[in-house]
Amino acid sequence: MISARKGMLMGGCLLVAGLLLAAPSDKAAVQITKDPQGYWFTEGDTKVLFYQLERKALPDGRAERSNYFHPLYDLDGSVLTQDFPPDHIHHRGIFWAWHQVLLNGKRIQDQWSNLDSFWPVQKAEVVSGADSASLKLRVFWESPKFADAQGKRKPFVEENSVTRVHKAEGDIRKIDFHQQLTALLDGVEIGGSEDAKGYGGFSYRIAMPEDIRFVGDKGVVTPTVNAVDASPWMDATATYGPSGKSGIAVLTHPSTTGFPQTWILRAKGSMQNAVYPGQHPVALAKGKPVTLRYRLVLHRGELAPARIKQLQAEYAKESF
Question: In whole angstroms, what is the distance from residue 318 CA to residue 258 CA?
Answer: 18
Indicate if the pLDDT at residue 23 is higher than 50: no
CB 292 within 8 A of CB 308: no
Would you state the pLDDT for residue 319? 87
Would you state the pLDDT for residue 26? 52
- CB-side neighbour CA atoms (13 Å) of 133: 26
Question: In whole angstroms, what is the distance from residue 107 CA to residue 195 CA?
Answer: 16
Mean pLDDT of 221-225: 96
- Whole-number mean pLDDT of the chain? 92
pTM for this predicted structure:
0.91
Question: Residue 58 is inside which H or E element, if any?
Answer: none
CB 157 within 8 A of CB 179: no
Nearest Cα residue to 245 out of 29, 3, 76, 44: 76
Indicate if the pLDDT at residue 19 is higher than 90: no
Indicate if the pLDDT at residue 245 is higher than 70: yes
Going along the chain from its start, the domains and CATH numbers come out as 29-316 (2.70.98)
Kindly report, residue by residue over 105-156, the tens digit of the pLDDT. 999 999 999 999 999 999 999 999 999 999 999 999 999 999 999 999 999 9
Question: In whole angstroms, what is the distance from residue 221 CA to residue 241 CA?
Answer: 23
Task: Express the helix, strand and coil content of the chain in percent, nearest 5 each.
Answer: 5, 50, 45
Kindly report, residue by residue over 165-200, the tens digit of the pLDDT. 999 999 999 999 999 999 999 999 999 999 999 999
Would you state the pLDDT for residue 3? 39
Would you state the pLDDT for residue 242? 86
The 3-state secondary structure of 92-145 reads ECEEEECCEEEECCEEEEECCCCECCECCEEEEEEEECCCEEEEEEEEEEECCC
Mean pLDDT of 51-76: 97
Indicate if the pLDDT at residue 205 is higher than 70: yes
Mean pLDDT of 88-112: 98
Question: In whole angstroms, what is the distance from residue 118 CA to residue 283 CA?
Answer: 20
Question: Listing from the earlier edge strand, what are the strands of the sheet with 290-300?
Answer: 121-128, 132-141, 157-166, 172-183, 290-300, 244-252, 233-241, 213-216, 219-221
